[in-house]
Structure 1
């Protein structure tokens, strides 16, 4: 995926997005933006996203990442810029099929750590936590990835604007570009 490509679209149409910069996603089982929104809101609390709260929140974004994604690392590395711009960022894991077991193991360690926000930041910088994962944490990451599968998300990062309406932004975008896209 190339940095700098933005697609602001209804989540159910994410499966239709394609360009030379990234592969098209697989068809989502959620058929409409409303069904996708309902799936997210129904599932989110149980999936325990790692959230970085904006002091003056303008938008809430659900960000799908994997720890082997360079562009995802850029988003997490610059989290303060996003939160300072009013973007509350909640992270969930996508476990791509080609690296599924590795991502579930690695990100399970993040979700099992005592300080999840610090652990996520370190993991995305290439430093996994010293703790092991547990079956419960691995299952949590698997369920997070299952939500991404239901939504048709197979590329990372994908930022889903949960409020006030469900739209997706594909790729590592700076906060100003996100805010501009959301004001349209």
Structure 2
């Protein structure tokens, strides 16, 4: 028999992680991965709910009804299923949670597993899970008004736009910022969002508040990345909401680059490689 009380405890714990993750340091992500693995091990080892254990489900609607009860209701609304869709693998469905995690379920809904789904092709392995993530990332980025970003635009026609989550104290963010002129010469527009690593506890948090409160954000951002001290400023800024968004889409370090197709690529890349990845050659 399934221990539904134990299942509820796992969901409550996972929900608590979701509520608290946006205000903790980046060590949260490693802890979350461990706890997610424990939760999913429980999923795999046990049917979700005893009362529906014997049901035979035939489609995503029935599957959703079962998982809503098991996940959304049991977590008291702290977790939400955004979508359930078919995969190329017969009777296996992709389940997207509002935390950004993707789960996969059999048709009965009794068993789930986490991880990316790959398809073998003549060209190699194709990540089928990345498409869902890219669409969701683009949707969330599109909700941010551009006036909340710091945008460096080329004088020539824009050929491509990179959205970059940045931290003014990050060494590789500074290296990327040093490439701005070369990037813009290639027609690449760079849109900066704030990601002070560690959130409000980060040393860079107040610096980024000062940047976003500046009358000349472009100048202040460059000064901060050059290590210059900025006068303390306070105003209503999107810095924390940018940081929260970064966590929601899976960012754990900087720089984090969002490509026009929704790909999230962590780390610094030189101009030549970026131009190639943007297909601007």
Kept in 2, the 8 Å contact 1:77–1:121? The answer is: no
How many residues align? The count is: 156
**What is the CA distance between 1:106 and its match in structure 2?**
0.7
1:42-121 alignment, distance < 5 Å = 42=143, 44-45=144-145, 48-54=148-154, 55-97=156-198, 100-121=201-222
TM-score (norm 1): 0.75
Once residues 99 and 146 of structure 1 are traced to their aligned partners in structure 2, the CA distance between those partners, rounded to angstroms, is: 11
Contact 2:199 2:243 in 1 (8 A): no
Which residue matches 2:236? 136
CA distance in 1, matches of 2:147, 2:203: 19
Identify the residue that residue 99 of structure 2 maps to in structure 1.
Answer: 29
Instruction: From the CA coordinates, give the structure whose radius of gyration is larger.
Output: 2
Query: How far, CA to CA, are the matches of 2:278 and 2:146 in structure 1?
Result: 27
Aligned match for 2:225, one of 124, 146, 151 = 124
Cα 1:94–1:74 shift into 2, 3 Å: same
Contact conserved, 2:200 with 2:240, CA < 8 A, in 1? no
Deviation of the 1:168 alpha carbon: 2.5
Deviates more, 1:99-108 or 1:48-57: 99-108
Q: Distance in 2 between matches of 1:96 and 1:160?
A: 17
Identify unmatched segments of 5+ residues in structure 2: 1-28, 34-97, 103-131
Structure number with the bigger relative contact order (C-alpha 8 A, sep ≥ 6) is 1
Residue equivalent to 2:274: 178
How far 1:133 moved relative to its partner? 2.4
Gap regions ≥5 residues in structure 1? 1-22
Counterpart check, 1:157 vs 2:267: no
Report SS of the residue matched to 2:164: strand
